[in-house]
Amino acid sequence: MKTPKRIEPLVEDGLVDSVIRQLMSGKEANVYVVRCGEEVRCAKVYKEANQRSFRQSVEYTEGRKVKNNRRARAMEKGTKFGRSAQEEAWQSAEVATLFRLAAAGVRVPTPYNFLDGVLLMELVTDQKGEAAPRLGELTFTAEEATQYHRSLITQVVRMLCAGVVHGDLSEYNVLLSDEGPVIIDFPQAVDAAGNSHAFDMLSRDVANLANYFGQFAPHLLTTDYSHEIWALYQTGTLTPETPLTGTFKRSEAIVNIDEVLQVVDAAAKEEEERQRYKQEMEDQ
């Protein structure tokens, strides 16, 4: 097929030899199957902000850092340069996340190059060598569903250990390769330590997996991995090898509101006295 204009720079730089076909058109990018020497890979061409349906939300971008102060100020003001910088930062965030997760052993498409808004990465294939299907296109036995669910929970844990929460994980962004599930699409991934919504997003990701695979293995619908995983993460004891049970016992201790208010009141009075004493020292 004719080489899309956005991929031409990769052809000129010798990173891509030819474009075989378009693989998909998504809400934030178009993906093409390309030939690179003897390898067949895929090129993810990010859409411009005014062309995509996915919109960045403060919920997702909270905690993302921009090192260049000039860029940060321009992005806050929404200038033309700022919008361009924001677009670049948005695209780079997914690329950086992919490299980070691949290095951590998470099963994601192997990233190779990123140039002019085009990400060159591994083409995930099935047993026949064809582009791997999404989970949502398939049906499973109860045993298969349990197996793949367990595999993906392990990947969720591995991501969290690398400091990342996917934020939009479902059967629509997991491919089933000949070696098992592969997680894709990370433009909305968040930093687990720097985003106050991280647990809510983790819970949603885990619930999506349970609800999907629960169609084939109903016992998965009663699991509670998100609270179990997050509790271990908060105590610093979570590792990819940590055995999980899928259950979580919430504290049933009754909170004495009067006692809590007394403690708060005492702390306030102590702070008031400390400030008064400090002022007296400064007045002397």
Q: Domain segments of the chain: what residues?
A: 5-234, 254-284
Residue 61 structure tokens: 């971008």
**What are 1-46's pLDDT values in tens digits?**
899 999 999 999 999 999 999 999 887 899 999 999 999 999 999 9
Please report the pLDDT score of residue 68 as a whole number.
53
> Per CATH, which fold does 5-234 belong to?
Transferase(Phosphotransferase); domain 1 (1.10.510)
Helices and strands in the chain, H and E counts: 8, 9
Mean pLDDT of 91-108: 92
Q: Which of helix, strand or coil describes residue 199? A: helix
Residue 169 in tokens:
């994980």
Mean pLDDT of 243-249: 93
Identify which of 166, 161, 164 has the alpha carbon closest to the alpha carbon of residue 236.
161
- Helix ranges (H only) for the chain are 8-12, 58-61, 69-77, 80-103, 142-161, 198-213, 225-234, 257-283
**What pLDDT band is residue 66 in, cutting at 50, 70 and 90?**
very low
Residue 222's pLDDT is what? 96
User: Which three-class secondary structure state does DSSP give residue 8?
Assistant: helix
Q: What local confidence, expressed as pLDDT, does residue 282 receive? A: 54
Instruction: Transcribe 55-102 into DSSP letters.
Output: ---HHHHTT-----HHHHHHHHHT-HHHHHHHHHHHHHHHHHHHHHHH
- Contacts of 205 by beta carbon, 8 Å cutoff, 6+ apart: 156, 165, 166, 167, 168, 169, 170, 226
Q: Whole-angstrom Cα distance, residue 115 to residue 22?
A: 19
Is 18:34 a contact under the CB 8 Å cutoff? yes
∠ at Cα 77 (194, 57), nearest 5°? 40
State the pLDDT at residue 72.
Answer: 43
Active site residues: 168, 185
Q: How many CB atoms lie within 10 A of CB 227?
A: 16
Q: Which of 116-120, 129-133, 229-233, 252-256 has the lowest mean pLDDT?
A: 252-256
Q: What is the pLDDT of residue 93?
A: 84
Count Cα neighbours of 61 within 13 Å in the Cβ-side half-sphere.
14
pLDDT in tens, 124-180: 999 999 999 999 999 999 999 999 999 999 999 999 999 999 999 999 999 999 999
Neighbours of 112 (CB within 10 A): 14
Mean pLDDT of the chain: 84
Stretch among 17-31, 212-226, 238-252 having the lowest mean pLDDT: 238-252
